[in-house]
Amino acid sequence: MKILCAVKRVVDYNVKIRVKTDQSGVETSNVKFSMNPFDEIAVEEAVRCKEAGAATEIVVVSVGPAQAQETLRTALAMGADRAILVQTDVETQPLAVAKVLKALVEKEAPGMVILGKQAIDDDCNQTGQMLAALLGWGQGTFASKVVAGDGKVAVTREIDGGLETVELKLPAVVTADLRLNEPRYASLPNIMKAKKKPLETVTPDALGVDVTPRLTTVKVAEPAKRQAGIKVPDVATLVDKLKNEARVI
């Protein structure tokens, strides 16, 4: 079975982001970017499937600017076989990405698509579900365990009250939660090898997909700041403040 994995280049999770003063967005120049953490988990899962003999080839895809090539090289260094960059400079919204992925799925015919459950920049948590809908496939979202069998896959999902296991007919779409696995670090030899792996670049137009954003961002603002608090010297003062000042207990 071939596995298709989607990865996104996002502002690194450790960066304290700054909102632009004109409220048009978030400052992204001179900021560290890296692979969306949930996507690293998706790639790791695909690589483990291949190591376990359940997958034969891993194709990684990213939709975004030319720099997303670096993100794809990272995935190749982790163990993916080849990469496709769908290059565009417009803001990539989930529905557009899902349509691009659908076009690629029709071309590549994978048995499973693995994505991260959400990107840490837009926090949408939509693309995997949308892709499954467009393809008419089953979806195993927020996966913490994936067991691929013959013609089906069992996915254990993280839900609000605990865990739930569903069985999906293959082909299917799976989105990775943080607890699915611990992604590996790419070793230097693997990073060198990844430079020689094939990376194809296409445009959304060539795939016949319109990626024009459907939602207009009117503005991006800083959230309300919390008032600086005080430090209390001991537990007795804390109890007193909570009872008499904040009146919450």
Please report, as residue ranges, which positions from 47 to 66 form the binding site for other proteins (by CB under 8 A).
none
Nearer to other proteins, 13 or 195 (CB): 13
Q: Smallest distance, Å, CB 154 to other proteins?
A: 7
Exactly one of 53, 136, 151, 189 binds other proteins (CB under 8 A); which one? 136
Query: CA geometry: angle at 73 spanning 181 and 127, to 5°?
Result: 60
Q: According to the binding rule CB under 8 A, does residue 177 interact with other proteins? A: yes
Query: CA geometry: angle at 157 spanning 116 and 125, to 5°?
Result: 35
Q: According to the binding rule CB under 8 A, does residue 188 interact with other proteins? A: no
Q: Smallest distance, Å, CB 127 to other proteins?
A: 8
Of 83-112, which residues contact other proteins (CB under 8 A)?
93-95, 98
- The single residue listed with the structure tokens 């016949």 is 208
d(CA 46, CA 115): 10
Q: According to the binding rule CB under 8 A, does residue 232 interact with other proteins? A: yes
Q: According to the binding rule CB under 8 A, does residue 122 interact with other proteins? A: yes
Say if strands 2-6 and 112-116 run parallel, antiparallel, or are unpaired. parallel
Q: Smallest distance, Å, CB 231 to other proteins?
A: 5
Exactly one of 21, 188, 189, 236 binds other proteins (CB under 8 A); which one? 236
Residue 37, burial from CB neighbour count under 10 angstroms (0-12, 13-18, 19+): middle
d(CA 102, CA 100): 5
Nearer to other proteins, 73 or 157 (CB): 157
Which stretch in 45-53, 62-70, 192-200, 229-237 sits in contact with other proteins by CB under 8 A?
A: 229-237
Q: Which residues pair with 34 in a beta bridge?
A: 10
> Which residues contact residue 150 at a Cβ distance below 8 angstroms, ignoring those fewer than 6 apart?
none
Which stretch in 83-91, 104-112, 196-204, 232-240 sits in contact with other proteins by CB under 8 A?
A: 232-240
With contacts defined by CB under 8 A, how many residues of the chain interact with other proteins?
81
d(CA 248, CA 181): 40
Q: Say which DSSP state 19 is in.
A: B
Query: CA geometry: angle at 117 spanning 62 and 131, to 5°?
Result: 60
Q: According to the binding rule CB under 8 A, does residue 12 interact with other proteins? A: no
Of 20-49, which residues contact other proteins (CB under 8 A)?
26
- Quick note: the x/- pattern for other proteins over 146-175, rule CB under 8 A, is --------x--xxxxxxxxxxxxx--x---
**Tally of CB atoms within 10 A around 85:** 22
